[in-house]
A and B are shown apart, each in its own frame.
Chain A
C-alpha cells in the first residue's frame, strides 16, 4: 500500500474542540477535567492523588522550582523540575504568587523530609499531566 492509500485508510477523526478545553481545565485544577466528563470516581482518585501529593510535599518542607536559582547555578538546570512542578496547575501558580515553597531557606533544606517533599511536589505535577491526558482522551472519545 502506498503512502497516500495508507493515509486514506487510517482516517483520523478530528479532535473535538471541547476536548482541548477539558484538557486545559484538567491541568489547571486537578480532577476537574474528569468532573466535567462526569467521571466522578476517576476525578476523586486521580485528582485526589495530585492534591494529596502536593500538600504532603509542602508539609514535608519541599521546594518548588522556578527560573531563579539563588545559588549561582545555571538557569537551565531549573527548567526540567520547573516543568514537572508546573504540572500542578493552579496549585503551583497560587504558591508562586504567594511565595510559598519557593524560598531558598537553609533551615527548611536541613529538614529530614526536605528531599521527600521535593519528590512529592514533582510527582504531583507529573501525575497531573497523566490525569490531564486521560481526561483529554476521554473527552476526545479515544477511551471510555
Chain B
C-alpha cells in the first residue's frame, strides 16, 4: 500500500507542474493535470503487473 501511495504522490507532484505550464486557461489546466495524473497511475499499474509476471 505504501508503494502505491508514494506512486500517487509522485504522479500528483508531476501532474501539478505539467498542468500548470501546459494549457491556456484554468479549466484546461485542471483537465490536463488530471489526465496526466490518471495516465501516470494507470501506466504505473500496468507496468507493475507486467513486471510481476516476468520471473527475473
When A and B form their complex, what is the total count of cross-chain residue pairs whose Cβ atoms lie within 8 Å? 35
B2, B6, B13, B24: which contacts A49 (Cβ < 8 A)? B13
B-side residues, CB < 8 A to A, are 2, 6, 9-10, 13-14, 16-18, 20-21, 24
Main secondary structure of the interface of B (DSSP, over half): helix
Question: Is A116 touching B21 in the complex (CB atoms < 8 A)?
Answer: no
A-side residues, CB < 8 A to B, are 42, 45-46, 49, 52-53, 56, 112-113, 116, 119-120, 123, 127, 130-131, 134, 144
Question: Is A120 touching B16 in the complex (CB atoms < 8 A)?
Answer: no
Question: Is A116 touching B6 in the complex (CB atoms < 8 A)?
Answer: yes
Q: Interface centre among B2, B14, B17, B21, by most A CB within 10 Å?
A: B17
A113–B2 Cα distance when bound, in Å, is 10
Known interface pairs A123-B14, A127-B14; A56-B9 also in contact (CB < 8 Å) = yes
